[in-house]
Amino acid sequence: MSVLPATSPRSTRTLSRPLEAGTARGRALHVVPPTAPLPRTVGADLVVPTTSGPRTYVNLDLAASTPALETVQAAVDRTLQTYSSVHRGAGYASRVTSAWYEQARAEVGEFVGARDDDAVIFTRTTTDSWNLLSRALPRRTVVFVFASEHHSTLLPWGAHRTVRLPIPSSIEDALDLLDEAFAEHPARHRLAVVTAASNVTGEVWPVARFAALAHEHGARLAVDAAQLAPHRPVDLAGWDADYVAFSGHKTYAPFGAGVLAGRADWLDSGQPYLAGGGATRAVTERGTVWATGAARHEGGSPNVVGAVALAAACATIRAHRADIERHEAQLLARLRSGLETVPGVEQLSLFSDDSDRVGVVAFTVAGFDPSLVSQILSVEHGIGVRDGKFCAHLLVDELLEDPWSESPATAVRASLGLASTAEGVDRLVEALRELVTEGPRATWTHTAAGWVVEGDDPRDAPVTRPW
Ligand SMILES: Cc1ncc(COP(=O)(O)O)c(C=O)c1O
């Protein structure tokens, strides 16, 4: 099958909703809702140096970090006009800034489908959120986690109280493994942690089923939504899950804020994550009374710019939800079918090929070191992807198990988002086709520092400081 013709997703999108019928002055008329353009990201027209001259950058590394949305940039600019302390000042600017911080919390709470009595805590990242929750767990809590998880979700709980489950072969297998593990490890407090969408295969886990299973056993469920949040709804209450975490820098708000939301009881009685100003109710010579609610874990001056940025991203994504999902589904289908046409390219799946997925595809190219592939895509074609094990070493080792191979098992990952385009996807597919059929354009040498292109690496041109 050949690669589909390059067309702009914006020019080919049709109505965002079906025609609505209405009446005016007795005459039936059709109201055609305007097609809302997809939200734009800052730097979408970036041109980068390549060995073939300057080219528009194709960023297919969005599972790592996303650029800011323009709405986020605007909200940040506006926040900076009155930037001041949060919950610490009587001045007008402090009042406004404090109000925005709490409005941001409410917006993010809605984005994750938080219940009225859930805590919504601003953190730095998903990693930070899980470390916070880990410290707040009641004593002797047993934590259940699959070996397939991202290290940020696998490791924060402490080996002594973690039951590590084998990598499952299917969702049903995962549910059975968890069911058995619950039966084998009774404890008063138990927490299972699962990821809603894999950062390696993009496969989506039906987290509501895991929540139901956990609750059947009197346990709780925490959901890693780092890869789901930019693409699909996060719904704590709808899933009946207990905790959720995600990261602003993966959700078009790269200003240093992440979120942990969920049941307030453990969080209110757990050890404060950051002891310090703002986290206390009273400090006397006799001792400290710690605050409850989000303040307990948000010691120090909060990152209000990050919180507002994240709220702005959440609001924008919610307003464009249906269009984003449709656009990304089309691009993912185009990417996966395009890669199928390139000889030697194999896409990684933990479950079946027809699993529900977000726009993350890890693959190998027969005969080519993944790190060379990603360097060639960058230097020769101006395409950004990632190679390696994606902080999910156990999963990638399992997916690439090759007892005869002497080279470390790694893969290439292409990941897309709302600002990705059909042209970008096609450029990746064609660059890979050229590589496997004609070889690299340049001469490449493997050195102790990795793959090096012969002659000048165009990316080495000095860059001026951004300040
Ligand atoms: C599924 C998943 N969970 C957790 C993380 C950790 O996110 P952060 O680096 O923002 O803490 C990542 C990052 O790639 C991820 O993909």
Q: What is the pLDDT of residues 338-371, one digit of tens each?
A: 999 999 999 999 999 899 999 999 999 999 999 9
Could you tell me if the CB of 226 is within 6 A of ligand 1?
yes
Instruction: Tell which atom from ligand 1 comes closest to the C-alpha of 128.
Output: 11
CA of 84 to the centre of ligand 1 (A): 30
Instruction: Tell which atom from ligand 1 comes closest to the C-alpha of 197.
Output: 1
With a pLDDT cut of 70, the percent of the chain lying above it is: 91
Q: Which ranges in 287-355 belong to alpha helices (H)? A: 304-319, 321-340
CA of 150 to the centre of ligand 1 (A): 7
CA of 200 to the centre of ligand 1 (A): 11
CA of 393 to the centre of ligand 1 (A): 13
Going by pLDDT thresholds of 50, 70 and 90, the confidence category of residue 407 is low
DSSP state of 54: -
Nearest residue by C-alpha to atom 12 in ligand 1: 226
Q: What is the pLDDT of residue 426?
A: 98
Going by pLDDT thresholds of 50, 70 and 90, the confidence category of residue 88 is very high
Q: What is the pLDDT of residue 23?
A: 32
- Using a 10 angstrom Cβ sphere, with 0-12 exposed, 13-18 middle and 19 or more buried, the burial of residue 459 is middle
Q: What is the pLDDT of residue 270?
A: 96
pLDDT > 90? residue 380: yes
Q: What is the pLDDT of residue 11?
A: 31
Could you tell me if the CB of 61 is within 6 A of ligand 1?
no
Could you tell me if the CB of 410 is within 6 A of ligand 1?
no
Q: What is the pLDDT of residue 65?
A: 98
Q: What is the pLDDT of residue 402?
A: 65
pLDDT > 50? residue 440: yes
Instruction: Tell which atom from ligand 1 comes closest to the C-alpha of 249.
Output: 10
CA of 463 to the centre of ligand 1 (A): 29
Q: Which ranges in 247-295 belong to alpha helices (H)? A: 264-269
pLDDT > 80? residue 332: yes
**Residues designated catalytic:** 391
Instruction: Tell which atom from ligand 1 comes closest to the C-alpha of 129.
Output: 11
Contact partners, residue 240, CB within 8 Å, separation at least 6: 208, 211, 212, 215
CA of 126 to the centre of ligand 1 (A): 6
pLDDT > 90? residue 18: no
Going by pLDDT thresholds of 50, 70 and 90, the confidence category of residue 401 is confident
- Using a 10 angstrom Cβ sphere, with 0-12 exposed, 13-18 middle and 19 or more buried, the burial of residue 441 is middle
pLDDT > 80? residue 403: no
Could you tell me if the CB of 66 is within 6 A of ligand 1?
no
Instruction: Tell which atom from ligand 1 comes closest to the C-alpha of 127.
Output: 11
Could you tell me if the CB of 149 is within 6 A of ligand 1?
no
Could you tell me if the CB of 152 is within 6 A of ligand 1?
yes
Could you tell me if the CB of 126 is within 6 A of ligand 1?
yes
pLDDT digits (tens, 9 = 90+) for 235-280: 999 999 999 999 999 999 999 999 999 999 999 999 999 999 999 9
Could you tell me if the CB of 194 is within 6 A of ligand 1?
no
Orientation of helix 70-81 relative to helix 304-319, angle to 10°: 140
Nearest residue by C-alpha to atom 10 in ligand 1: 125
Domains of the chain: 39-68+321-460 (3.90.1150.10), 71-318 (3.40.640.10)
Helix, strand, coil shares, percent, the chain, to 5: 35, 20, 45
pTM assigned to the model: 0.91
Give the total residue count for the chain: 467
Instruction: Tell which atom from ligand 1 comes closest to the C-alpha of 224.
Output: 3
* Tokens found for residue 271: 């050890």
Could you tell me if the CB of 201 is within 6 A of ligand 1?
no
- The pLDDT mean for the chain works out to 92
Measured CA to CA, the distance from residue 455 to residue 443 in angstroms comes to 9
Q: How far is CA 45 from CA 59, 252, 396, in A?
A: 11, 16, 33
Amino acid at 47: V
Going by pLDDT thresholds of 50, 70 and 90, the confidence category of residue 408 is low
Measured CA to CA, the distance from residue 158 to residue 139 in angstroms comes to 12
Pocket test for ligand 1, best of 132, 207, 247 (most atoms within 8 A of CB): 247
Contact partners, residue 18, CB within 8 Å, separation at least 6: none
Pocket test for ligand 1, best of 65, 150, 234 (most atoms within 8 A of CB): 150
Q: What is the pLDDT of residue 19?
A: 30
CA of 199 to the centre of ligand 1 (A): 8
pLDDT digits (tens, 9 = 90+) for 26-81: 334 444 444 568 999 999 999 999 999 999 999 999 999 999 999 999 999 999 99
Measured CA to CA, the distance from residue 349 to residue 231 in angstroms comes to 19
pLDDT digits (tens, 9 = 90+) for 105-123: 999 999 999 999 999 999 9
pLDDT digits (tens, 9 = 90+) for 290-322: 999 999 999 999 999 999 999 999 999 999 999
Q: Which helix (H) or strand (E) holds 151?
A: helix 151-154
Q: How far is CA 56 from CA 76, 258, 378, 426, in A?
A: 26, 30, 11, 13
Could you tell me if the CB of 227 is within 6 A of ligand 1?
yes
Could you tell me if the CB of 125 is within 6 A of ligand 1?
yes
CA of 6 to the centre of ligand 1 (A): 32
Q: Which of 125, 239, 231, 149 is nearest to 198 (CA)?
A: 149
* Tokens found for residue 312: 């702005």
